[in-house]
Amino acid sequence: MKIGLAQLNLHIGNFNENVTSVAFEIKKAQQFDIDLLVFPELTICGYPPLDLLEHKKFIEDCNRAIQQVSPICTEIGVLIGSPVLNTKPTGKKLYNSVYFLNKGTVQQVFHKTLLPTYDIFDEYRYFESNTDFKLLQFKGKKIAVTICEDLWYDQPVETDFANSRLYTVNPMKKLMDLKPDLIVNLAASPFSYTKIKAKKEIFINNAKKYKLPVIYLNQVGGQTELLFEGGSLVVDAEGKIVKEMEYFQPDSCFIDADALINCRLSEEVNDQDPVEMIHNALIMGIRDYFGKTGFDKAILGLSGGIDSAVTAVLAVRALGSENVHALLLPSQYSSVHSVSDAETISKNLGMNYDVIDIQNIFNQFKTELQPLFKGLPEDITEENIQSRIRSILLMAFSNKFHSILLNTSNKSEAAVGYGTLYGDMAGGLSVLGDVYKTDVYNLAGFINRKKIIIPENSLTKPPSAELKPDQKDTDSLPEYEILDKILQQYIEFKKSIKEIGKTIGDPGMAERVIKLVNQNEYKRYQSPPILRISSKAFGAGRRMPLVARY
C-alpha cells in the first residue's frame, strides 16, 4: 500500500484555490498509483479559520468544496480535514474532522477528540470533542486516523505550573483496543523554534509506546501571525524517523506502508540550526502575509540599527529587492553613521531608498505646541513626536504606493514598552516582534555568515533610539543579555519575580523589568500582528487584562 503525503500551504476561506491545490495533488497521486493520499488538518478551509466557523455560509462552503473533491477520488482513498456539523441536540455546533473519500463519495468521517484550548489555540470555542472511536479499514490495513492534538495526550510543558496531561481521555488508548496497523495524524501544528525537538519526540514516543508507525502530516505556510513549518514526519514502529519533509515550503512524498510497518525504511535526518529556522520561518511569514492579503510591496524605516537592517534583509529575501523600499529618516539626534550604515545596507540589498530629514517637521510641531507646553522641559513627549513623525512619513509612502509598512521592533523592546505607540510600534506586520534582541544579533550573524550584508558598525554600536542627545538603550534598560534572560523566564516560563531575581542574582532588577512588562500591556494591545516563532509570543496567544494591578 502506497501512502502519499501532501504538505500544502492553504489560504483560509479561499475555497477555489484550496480545492484546486487539493485536486492537483490527487491527480498527481493517481499517476503515481498512490492508494491513500493524506492532507493536513482543516485543509479545505485553511487553519485557523477562527470565527469564520460561526458563519453558516462558511460551513456550507466547506461542504460544497468537499463535494467538489469527492468525485475525483474514485480509485484513490483521500483523508482530508474539514469542519463537520454536529447534528446532535447538545454540544458545540461543529467537529474538527477528517473525511475519508473513496469511490467518488464520502465513505467515513473521523472527529478530533483532544481540542487544544491554550496559547494560540481556541478549538473548544468552536468544536465538540469526539466520543466515537473507530479505525479506517482500507486495502487490508487498519489505520488509526488522528487529528493533531489527539497524539498530544502526554505533552511537554515549559512551566512548572502547567499540567502535562490536559485531557481526561486518551484517544490513542481507545483506538488501540481496535488493533490498528499504523497511525496517521493530520495536523496544523505551528512553529516554535524551541519546540522542534519536543515535537519530534511526540511522534517518536507515540510510535514506541504503541509499537506502531506514525505518519504525521503538518500544514505549511504563514497564516497572519502563525507560522506552520511543515516538516511532516514518518516514524517507524521502532520510533525511528524515516522521512522528514521540507521545512517552510510545500512538499509531497509517498511511502510504502508495508515497508514502514516492517521497519524497512530509512533516511538520514539532521537537526537544523534554530537560528536558520527562525530566519526561514520569518521569510515565509512575510511572503505569505503579503501573498495572502494581495500585496507585493513593503516599505520600512531604516535607522542604521540592527533591527531594521535584519528586517530589511528578511523582507528582500521574502519579496525581492524590487518590492522593498526604505525610508531613511534622520533627525538632529541621529548619529553620524546612521544614514551611511542604512545606505550601505540598502545598496548591499539592491533596495531603493529615500532620505527625508524630519527636523523641519519636528520644529513645526514644537512651534505649534509651544503655547501649550511653554515653560515645560522637554521629555519623553518630544521623543515620541519624532518617532510618530517617522511613522506618518512611512504610512504616507505606504498609502501612496500601496505598500505594507513592516514594523522593525524586537520582542525585548515590545516587552518593556521601549517603543512609541503609533511611532516605531506602527506597521502592518511585525517581523521581529517575537525575536529577542540577543536573537536579532544571532540572525544578523547568520545573515552575514558568508558575506557582509549588514555593516559591522550596525552590529557593534551600542543600541540606541536616537531620540535625544547621546541616548543609549542601556540608559533605561539593563544590558540585553540580562534583559532577555529575565523576559524569557517571565514570559515563556512564567517564573515569579522572586525566582527570576534569584536566577539572575539581582532581585531589584527582576522586579523593575517585570513591572515594565506588566505596565506596558496597553501598548502591546495595539501592536500589529507579530510573526510567531517562540512558544509564547505577544498577541493572540498571550491574553492579559490591561486594568490588572499585578
Spatial distance between the Cα atoms of 370 and 387, rounded to a whole number of angstroms: 19
Beta-carbon contacts of 90 under 8 Å, excluding residues fewer than 6 positions away, are none
SS3 label, residue 523: helix
Q: How many CB atoms lie within 10 A of CB 468?
A: 17
End-to-end CA distance of the chain: 58
Peptide bond into 463 cis (omega under 30): no
Q: Pick from 423, 301, 314: which is nearest to 355 by CA?
A: 301
Choice between 429 and 454, CB closer to a copy of itself: 429
Choice between 86 and 137, CB closer to a copy of itself: 86
Min. distance of Cβ 153 from a copy of itself in angstroms? Answer: 9
Spatial distance between the Cα atoms of 67 and 99, rounded to a whole number of angstroms: 11
| Pairing status of strand 214-218 against strand 182-187 | parallel
Min. distance of Cβ 366 from a copy of itself in angstroms? Answer: 10
Rg (CA), the chain: 25
Beta-carbon contacts of 214 under 8 Å, excluding residues fewer than 6 positions away, are 151, 182, 183, 184, 185, 203, 206, 207, 233, 234, 235
Min. distance of Cβ 290 from a copy of itself in angstroms? Answer: 10
C-alpha cell at 206: 507515540
Min. distance of Cβ 253 from a copy of itself in angstroms? Answer: 27
DSSP string, 197-226: HHHHHHHHHHHHHHT--EEEEE-EEEETTE
Cell 506586520 locates to: 429
- Write down the H helix ranges in 320-409: 336-349, 359-373, 380-400
Q: Contact at 8 Å (CB) between 436 and 484? A: yes
C-alpha cell at 194: 524551541
Catalytic residues: 41, 112, 148
Choice between 11 and 141, CB closer to a copy of itself: 11
Min. distance of Cβ 526 from a copy of itself in angstroms? Answer: 5
Choice between 67 and 117, CB closer to a copy of itself: 117
Choice between 17 and 456, CB closer to a copy of itself: 17
- Sheet-wide strand order for 233-235: 136-138, 141-147, 182-187, 214-218, 233-235, 241-244
Min. distance of Cβ 497 from a copy of itself in angstroms? Answer: 8
Q: How many CB atoms lie within 10 A of CB 411?
A: 26
Q: Contact at 8 Å (CB) between 493 and 391? A: no
Choice between 348 and 407, CB closer to a copy of itself: 407
Q: Which residues pair with 138 in a beta bridge?
A: 141
Q: Contact at 8 Å (CB) between 287 and 431? A: no
Choice between 452 and 546, CB closer to a copy of itself: 546
Choice between 11 and 199, CB closer to a copy of itself: 11
